[in-house]
Structure formats: structure tokens, C-alpha cells
Structure 1
Amino acid sequence: MGETVVHGTTVLAIKKDGKVVMAGDGQVTMGDTVVKHQAKKVRKMYHDRILTGFSGSTADAFTLFERLEGKLEQYNGNLKRAAVELAKDWRMDRALRRLEALLVAADRNDCFILSGTGDVIEPDDGLAAVGSGAPYALAAARALIRHTGMSIREIAEEAMNIAASICIYTNREFTFEEL
């Protein structure tokens, strides 16, 4: 029996002018089969001051969420420090290195993508996306921010709808969180 491949997800974060919105779709697939339609892939952390979202293995993502929450507590909600320290642990710990997930974390000041290879990527423009639909959502959000007067919530909604219309692993059962 072959390896089961879990695909999917689009998570998009937009940080602009002290506001943040994060959106995630709800689809979970195994191979070419949809197994869940309304998964919650974005959530608030650290006294509702930080937004997080994930793509990849759900169990691995929850492990990373727990680790990030611990780092946020340890560093009094300093997202930048917590992200860097989590990435160090992720890279050095043999068990963590095997985790297959990507995280997006954002607060009113910072936005990061954290990878299993120990990367902490801070986007230049306050836009971050992970998952199979990420390139579509990110491109749409960039165009809408540059060429419309839409709010970041409206931009997130439209960008996610565009991603869902292109990516077969992204549905329209969106969850939004805002700061």
C-alpha cells in the first residue's frame, strides 16, 4: 500500500496599517479524496493578540501550535522572538524536524512564515500565504491591495475565493480571524 499524501489548504494573512486578518479554507484531503469540509485552520493565540494558521499535517500543526504558544508565554507575547526560538527548536529537535507543516503567525506589528527547515520568513509587504492555494491567494491579495480601496477583510475574502476557484484542494468554507 502506498503512502497516504495529505494535500490542501490555503491560509492567507494580510497585515496593513496596524490591522491583521487571517483566512483559511476548510477542506482536508487525503490523496484525491475530500475527507472534511469545515476544518478550522486559523486561530487566535496569546490573549487573542496573535493570529496563527497552518498547512500540512494537522497533528504536526497542532504540535507546532502548542510549541509556539509555549514560546509566546516564555517571551511575553514577543512574536518575533517566539518565532525565531521555535524555528531553532524545530531545526534542532529530531522529532520536530520530521513534522510536516507550515505556520503563518501574525500580530499587529509582525507577520511570519515558519517552515520545518528552520526558516522564519518575514514578507516584505505584510502578506503571507501557505498551502496549495497560497500562490493564487497571495497574487490576488497583492493585486487587490495595490489597485483597489477594499478593506483587508474584503481583500482576504476575495483572494480566498479566487484561490478556491483555481486550486482543487481549496474550498469556500472559510474561517476568518482579525486583530
Structure 2
Amino acid sequence: MSHPKIKSTTVCAVVHNGQVAIGADGQATMGNTVAKSNVRKIRKLADGKIVLGFAGSTADAFTLMERFDEKLGTYGGNMKRAAIELAKDWRMDRYLRRLEAMMIVANKEEVLVISGTGDVLEPDNGVATIGSGSMYAQSAALALKKHAPNLTAKEMVEESLHIAADICIYTNHNLIVETVAE
């Protein structure tokens, strides 16, 4: 008997006017049922200097988050180097290769998307999204950056996630949004 996979989420990060914010909704689904509505998918690392958001299997994401934190320690807090090393391990290691999750990591200078295919991507436009509602949140965030530059990065993330939640059935309005500490 196979168990339905737990999936869900929309994670959005925005770099705007010297600010970096990252947020996620709180929904986890099992098959076509909401399993939990207030999952915390955003975590602060390195004394709040790095913020991480994940989408996909929660257990897999926690495993990857722990590995990323170890890599940060190994490489002296260098986020980009830690991300690249994690992506290499994720792709090559037999155990890690089976993990089904994606992550966005951010510090005060940059935002990176890390995937199990070995990708470490830095968005050109200061917007990174992952998860089931990612394209809705990305579209909203890009429009807000262009047409509402008076908003803060945090406000853009919040509004983008609310727009995604209005459209995507795997995204809800229970948001956690964090900013990156200086």
C-alpha cells in the first residue's frame, strides 16, 4: 500500500531597495486533502543573517536544511559556497538524490534557489519562487516591483503570497514572512 506524498507550498523571496524578505504559506497537503494548515517553512540560520524557505516533502527539506547548515559552518558562513557544495552532494549522493524538496536561501546581498538537479540559481530580477504556487507569486512580485516600488520587500512578499493563495489550491493565507538581518 503506498502512502500519498505530502506536498504543497509557495515560497517567495524578494530583493528590493536594499531589503531582502522571504515568506511561505503554511499549508501541507496529503493527496488532495489539507493535512496541516500552519506548517512553518521558513527558518533563520547563522544568527538571522541567512533565511531559508523550503517546498516539497517536509522531512526531506529538514534533512537538506541540516546539511546546508553544516556546509555553512564548513565554509565560514559563505552562503553561495555552501549552496554549491550542498547541490553537488544532493545530486551525487545516493541517499540525498532521492530527496524531494527545493530551497530558497537568502542573505543581505543575494537570493539563491537550490534544487536536487544540481542547480544553484540567482535570479536576475530579485524575485525567487518555488512550490506549487510559485508562478503566481513570481508574477505578482514582478508586477509589484515594477508598479509599486514604494512597497517594502516584506510587503511585496506578503501580497504576492496572498495572490498565489487566492489562485493555487495548494497554498493558503497562513503566512510566515521574515526579513534578513543586517
> Shorter-normalised TM-score: what interval?
over 0.9
Cα deviation 1:96-147 (Å, max 9, x = unaligned): 0000000000101111111111111111012101100100001000000101
- What is the CA–CA distance in structure 1 between the aligned matches of 2:2 and 2:40, rounded to whole Å? 28
Matches of residues 79-90 of structure 1 in structure 2 within 5 Å? 79-90=79-90
How far apart are 1:165 and its partner, in Å? 0.2
Residue 25 of structure 2: aligned partner:
25
The alignment partner of 1:77 has SS state of coil
Matches of residues 67-78 of structure 1 in structure 2 within 5 Å? 67-78=67-78
CA contact (8 A) 2:19 2:108 kept: yes
TM-score (norm 1): 0.97
Instruction: In structure 2, give the amino acid aligned to 1:135.
Output: M
Residue 158 of structure 1: aligned partner:
159
Which runs of 5 or more structure 1 residues have no equivalent in the other structure? none
TM-score (norm 2): 0.95
Number of paired residues?
179
- What is the CA–CA distance in structure 1 between the aligned matches of 2:141 and 2:28, rounded to whole Å? 23
Residue 65 of structure 1: aligned partner:
65
Deviation >3 Å, runs of 4+: none
Residue 54 of structure 2: aligned partner:
54
How far apart are 1:3 and its partner, in Å? 4.8
How far apart are 1:18 and its partner, in Å? 3.0
- What is the CA–CA distance in structure 1 between the aligned matches of 2:3 and 2:43, rounded to whole Å? 29
Instruction: In structure 2, give the amino acid aligned to 1:162.
Output: I
Over the aligned positions, Cα root-mean-square deviation in angstroms equals 1.0
1:136 pairs with 2:136: yes
Instruction: In structure 1, give the amino acid aligned to 2:175.
Output: F
How far apart are 1:152 and its partner, in Å? 1.2
- What is the CA–CA distance in structure 1 between the aligned matches of 2:6 and 2:52, rounded to whole Å? 20
- What is the CA–CA distance in structure 1 between the aligned matches of 2:18 and 2:71, rounded to whole Å? 23
Residue 121 of structure 1: aligned partner:
121
- What is the CA–CA distance in structure 2 between the aligned matches of 1:81 and 1:176, rounded to whole Å? 25
